[in-house]
Chains A and B, each alone.
Chain A
Amino acid sequence: MSSTLSSRRAASGSPGFLKRSQPRYGEKVIKVLLVAASLVSVLTTIGIVIALIPPAGEFFSKVDFGEFLTGTNWAPLFKPASFGVLPLVGGTLMVTLIALLVAVPLGLGAAVYLSEYANKRVRKIFKPLLEVLAGIPTVVYGFFALKAITPVLQSIWPAGDGPQIFNALAAGFVMGIMIIPTIASLAEDSMSAVPRALRDGAFALGSSRMQVSTRVVFPAALSGIVAAVVLGISRALGETMIVAIAAGGQPNLSFNPLEGMQTMTAFIAAAGIGDLPTGSTGYQTIFAVGALLFVMTLVMNLLSIRLVRKYREVYE
């Protein structure tokens, strides 16, 4: 060690001694691999968009865009065909809304609890448990909704007919449970990252733990919390298996969550595994609905970015 040091020092008399002696190839290779890894996801997204555009474009050359967006009857495979996508959009929004009503309060509640209240031991047990919940295959959730939640709902329903066998309520409820870990885990990460000094400052002013959580930690962690909720919404919008199994396959424009309804994803899955001939209008509807879903997700992400910019509190 001392010999290298002294030989370096000896070399310092000659010009250019600050140049490195050997190129660091290993570092370059790693950098290329890392760039490649991040490119994969970007390229995949671009690829999906490129794959969606031609068939969706062809679809809209045959079907009026306004009729597609505002029509209330979705029967693309019938004669005469009708291409009003609202029933599918309605189904998607209904199930997503129910899921969020379940997942946002419970997920954020769990996050606040884990980050602000739980001691180390509880956190050590809880976090892995949450992640197990996230690892359950969605097909299991789907059958859980169909075979457990719906019958329970039917048996405890106080008045009227109660939920149908396929219904949006059970599907949305179970989907909400499915996305709790996503929201809880991400929100907890961003709340735990809020500096302790801010909490200390708030406690020293006579705040209760709840006030520290809601008035200091929550706003400081807002961007991460919104990101967590947005990811939850994205998962709900894109979730397919639960709704295909538990919400049914019947397009149904209704505000009644006790009825069955088809979501955009459930339609894509059903039509996609059918034997629609490539190039037929029926086939192209898959891409049109897919493109619309993509746009919806995109708009929601953009909105959330604006929301965060407006309300977040940046600590350092």
Chain B
Amino acid sequence: MTPPSDATGGTRIPQVAFRSAPSLAGPVFEVGSLSVFYGDHEAVRDVNMTIGHRQITAMIGPSGCGKSTVLRCFNRMNDLVPSARVAGKVHYHNEDLYGRDVDPIEVRRRIGMVFQKPNPFPKSIYDNIAYGPRVGGFQGNLDDLVEETLTHAALWDEVKDKLKTSALALSGGQQQRLCIARTIAVKPEVILMDEPCSALDPIATAKIEDLMTHLAREFTIIVVTHNMQQAARVSDRTAFFTADVDDAGVRHGRLVEYDETERIFSNPSDQRTEDYISGRFG
């Protein structure tokens, strides 16, 4: 991995190495004319994008443009917001994620999520990892699964002697890696991450980025980030969102540009994208 070139979020386009684009094995998600409403407010309007298999997709854009809102459509977390309503097409392997017979619980077992602020359960490290498998009715050997998962998440060596202690005793960065581990313990296909590093220091951030790159060999990852360098460093494709203000003064989030990360950062086709990534905007 390339070390952070400019941790402060510079005004120039970062010069970093890009991950080579993996071959596409059919899209994981196809999103068409997606709109999300909170009550009467159309927070996100007309989003179209396709997410490839085992790719890392970054979603960037100014605050309030609807990145989290869109991300939460991918595992139906918006179902839990009473006022939220999703319109348009969200297909997962050609199946309508919002179809009538679709069980949101099954959706979330296949499409996991990591949140902005580390939110380990106030349980032991072991129980945090074991939680997902347990609620899913896992039948095998939990001890093995916990070790395997923590090893996978590069956390085993740090915690193997204190599996029974509270997860809240870990540092913020460790907690966040534990949350990632907890997510992969369920063996999802996709991991959604909503600003997973925004509460962490640069070293903890670098560890998470390492982990993401490593996990992308097996998982499809969609990550929301405010850190331009992070998007450039880890992602294959980048989606830039912004918020338009309509005639009535209401803000609607929109997808402005969605392309190979390399292209977004070197030669964006939309002026707003260029302004944003070069720090002149947002």
List the interface of chain A (C-beta within 8 A of B): 119-120, 195, 197-208, 211, 215-216, 219-220, 313-316
Contacts and interface: CB of A to CB of B under 8 A. Distances in A.
Given A204-B112, A205-B186, A314-B166, 6 more contacts: A197-B119, A199-B80, A202-B135, A205-B135, A215-B131, A314-B122
B252 interface: no
A202 B122 contact: no
Contacts of A219: 122-123
26 contacts: A195-B119, A197-B117, A197-B119, A198-B121, A200-B77, A200-B80, A201-B121, A201-B182, A202-B131, A203-B77, A204-B75, A204-B77, A204-B108, A205-B109, A205-B135, A205-B183, A205-B186, A206-B132, A206-B136, A207-B135, A208-B135, A215-B135, A219-B122, A220-B121, A313-B123, A314-B122
Contact of B80 (A203, A205, A206): A203
Given A205-B108, A215-B131, A314-B168, A220 B80 contact: no
Nearest to A205: B132
Interface string B8-24: 00000000000000000
B179 interface: yes
A313 B80 contact: no
Nearest to A211: B135
Given A313-B121, A313-B122, A314-B122, A206 B77 contact: no
B135 A204 contact: no
Contacts of A313: 121-123
Query: Looking at chain A's contact residues, is the secondary structure mostly helix, strand, loop, or mixed?
Result: helix
B45 to A, nearest CB: 25
Interface string B140-180: 00000000000000000000000000101000000000010
B135 A206 contact: yes
A201 B115 contact: yes
A206 B108 contact: yes
B168 A208 contact: no
Nearest to A220: B122
A315 B128 CA distance: 13
A5 B14 CA distance: 44
A65 to B, nearest CB: 45
Chain B interface residue number, banded: 20 to 34
B97 interface: no
A55 B183 CA distance: 64
A195 B119 CA distance: 9
A206 B106 contact: yes
B115 A200 contact: yes
A203 B123 contact: no
Contacts of B131: 202, 205, 215
Contacts of A207: 105, 135
Nearest to B105: A206
B175 to A, nearest CB: 11
Interface in B209-266: none
Contacts of A215: 131, 134-135
A211 B134 CA distance: 10
Contacts of B113: 200, 204
**Nearest 8 CB-CB pairs, A to B?**
A206-B109, A313-B122, A204-B113, A205-B132, A197-B119, A315-B122, A201-B119, A206-B108
A232 to B, nearest CB: 25
B82 interface: yes
Nearest to A214: B135
Nearest to B185: A205
A200 B123 CA distance: 16
Contacts of B121: 198, 201-202, 216, 220, 313
Interface string B94-118: 0000000000011011001101010
